[in-house]
Structure formats: C-alpha cells, structure tokens
Structure 1
Amino acid sequence: MTAIDVQLDPKLAIYDQVLPARKPWAKVIKKGQTLRIVDLGGNQAVDFLVYNADDTSERYSAPDTIRAQGNIFITTGTKLYSNDGNVLMTVLNDTCGRHDTSGGACSCESNSVRFGLDKKWQHACVENFLYALKDYGMGKRDMTSNINFFMNVPVSEDGTLEIVDGISDPGSIVDLRAEMNTLVVISNCPQMNNPCNGYNP
C-alpha cells in the first residue's frame, strides 16, 4: 500500500530523539500529530504500546485491530483500534512492509521459559514498559497487547509462529498519526536471545 499523503518537515518536529539501545521512551502525542519511528541500524525491533491519554483505561487492542483489517500484520493504512472500538492511531507510511501483532513483549519470565533460567535476569521490554509507565501513574495492571514494529514473525500454514531475522533496512520508517490524544510507550527491544534484533540490540 502506498503512503497516505505524509508531508513531514523535520524542522517542525516537537520531539527529535535518538533512543539509546535497550531503553524506554514515553510521550503524549496529541490528536493530529504524527509520530515517526526510524530503525536507524536495521533489524531492530521496537515494542510499542498506545493508550488514550485522557483515559488510559482505553488502550490498544490487538484482537480488535486484527479483526477490523482482516490481517495480522500492520502496515500503511492500518488503523490501531482500542478496546473501546475507537481508532487511536493510523499508520500513514511504512517502508518496511509489515509489522508484528502476535509475538508479544519479552519479559524476564518469558526469557527464563524460552531460553533457560540463566536468562531470567536479562533486561526485557516488559521491564522497560513498566519503568516508563510509572511516570504516568501506571503499572503492571495497565499492560496490554503490544505491537512489534520492524519485527518479523511469519505465520506458517499450520498456524505456528517463529521469530526470525528482521526485514527492516537501516533507515526504515513508520509514521503514525494520532486520531485522539495518545500516550505512546516504546521499548527499544533489548532481546539478545533470538534474531529479532540480529542478536545485537
């Protein structure tokens, strides 16, 4: 799908940050503003949560988003639906081609189950999310399904999932327009036990 009339002037950016490896980020993106996420090095997963900034009990819903568009992947034109059936954000431009809705966020617990008990204390996206959410008075009960931008999780014919090498090149972008005041939370994924970050987050 082609880009949806995106004309962004970097000089007019409200925020312009390079997020360090393995770190979280959270900001309010107001209705009508556009968030651009750039994969600077390529093959770097970006875990993403989004909430209604005016009522954080309304948040991104993977099932509603998937059902509405009839596709498990996110790309240009996808509307990100909330648990209340409202559109939080719209993907205006995507140079990667598709993004994951089913792989979830890595956590200390999932690392220990999937990769061994010695990996339990490795830094993970859930911990990044919790660190960022605390500044907004939110915690574990506020966690919801996430999007994995630039992460490649193909689904085979028998329904199995596998996290494989990413498909994003250096400089790949995704632009998201806020359709209401949103709270966006990002984890620059620290996972080093599978290929979602090329084993080098």
Structure 2
Amino acid sequence: MAGLDATNIVYAYDIPAERPWSRVIKKGQMLRIIDSEGQQAVDALLYNADDSAERYSAQDTLREQGSAYIVLGTQLISNAGRVMARITADTCGRHDTSAGCCSCESNAVRFGEQTRYQHACRENFILELCKHGLTKRDIVSNLNFFMEVPIEPSGDFTVLDGLSAPGNHVDITMEMDVLFVISNCPQINNPCNGFNPTPIRVEVHEA
C-alpha cells in the first residue's frame, strides 16, 4: 500500500510537535500516520464515533492477537469485543500498546518533581477529547505507534530509542466509523522521541 494513488487522499495534515489532533474516520477509509523526521512516538486512542462508550481495548487486542506488540495484520479490538480497525501496512516493524501515555504526574515520579509541569500526552488527550464531549475519565490504555518498548519474559519493559526512520508509516484501515485521537508525544525525558519531539503527518485515504 506504500504506492497509494495520491488522488485517493481526502484529508492531510501535518501535526506540529507536541500537539494533539482528532478526526472521525469512516468505515473503509484508511489513516496513514507518517513519522516525518523519524523516532517520534505517536500516542493514539480510538472510539466508536456513534457510541463513545465503545473504545479501543489494549487488553482485548493483545489477548486476541496473542502478541505483546502491534504489528502488520493486528486487529484493534474494542471493549465490546469488536474489530475497530486493522493494521494494513507498516514500514516500521512493531508498535507498543503496553507502556501507556506520559502525564505530568508520571513525569514527576519518573524524572523528578521539576518535570511535573512539562506538557504530556495525557494533557493532550484531555484537550482534544473535550472537543467531542469526552473527559479525562474517557482516557483508556492507548496505542504508541513507532514506540520501541521491548517486553521481557518477566514482564518488565523499558522505553528505548524509536525504531522508525524518516518517512516510515503505518496504515490503519477502519472497520467502523472511528473517532481517532492522537497526541504527538511531547516527552523529552526518555528516548521515545530521540529527546527531540518533531512533527508527524496524517493522511486519510479512500478505499
């Protein structure tokens, strides 16, 4: 799918470094997320656009796939056990859905009290969700595209330098109308963004 016809693009936007974004993407449409400069983590949440009580479930997704990672072919499963979307192309290799999103509180615990007021993904999600009548209570375990989080047999994991190179992309094809919410991760205290948050590009393609 890397050579998709550009005339099929119905929407494109460059999300600035550290900023949130959201859009309703229709069933059958494909969202391409492009890591424009490389090593940029992209946190994401998915909600059924017609009933936000149904939303992405990391636990159901991992159980259904029998894998600790999100890879080509992974079905993204909702808390109702339905397929919300599928990974239909991927030039990076694998993605995380276990490490969660950074927050002011977790920054303070992990990196010191002086980082508490740095911008974080949880705050990005709150800012974007409020546009759709949702609140912080609607934040669930999220996806982390392009984020390298190897999980040891013991269950321990560590955030490492991202695997993605400039221009790497992941394609997500919707199986229902989905409210797709992104935080272009602002983290500067661990290597998920190469300590330098950068822009990403999103494109919506018709089937």
> TM-score when scaled to structure 2?
0.93
Partner secondary structure for residue 169 of structure 2: strand
Q: Is the 8 A contact 1:100 1:151 kept in 2?
A: yes
- Number of the residue aligned with 1:16: 12
Which position in structure 2 is the counterpart of 1:177?
173
The root-mean-square deviation of aligned C-alpha atoms, in Å, is: 1.1
Contact 1:192/1:199 (<8 A) preserved: yes
CA contact (8 A) 1:26 1:184 kept: yes
In the TM superposition, residue 8 of structure 1 has moved relative to its aligned partner by 2.8
Please name the residue that 1:189 is paired with: 185
Matched length: 197
User: What's 1:45 paired with?
Assistant: 41
SS of the residue corresponding to residue 65 of structure 1 reads helix
- Alignment correspondent of 1:92: 88
> Per-residue displacement from partner, 1:94-146 (whole Å, max 9, x unpaired)?
11110001110000010011111110000000111111111100011111110
Aligned to 1:26: 22
Residue segments in structure 1 that go unaligned for 5+ positions in a row: none
How much identity, in percent, do the aligned residues show? Answer: 57
The equivalences for 1:50-89 within 5 A come to 50-89=46-85
**Unpaired segments of 5 or more residues in structure 2?**
198-207
1:44 corresponds to which letter in structure 2? Q
CA distance in 2, matches of 1:46, 1:26: 12
Higher relative contact order (CA 8 A, sep 6+): 2
For the 8 Å contact 2:61–2:75, the answer to whether it is kept is: yes
The whole-number CA distance in structure 2 between the counterparts of 1:96 and 1:152 is 10
Match of 1:164 among 160, 167, 170: 160
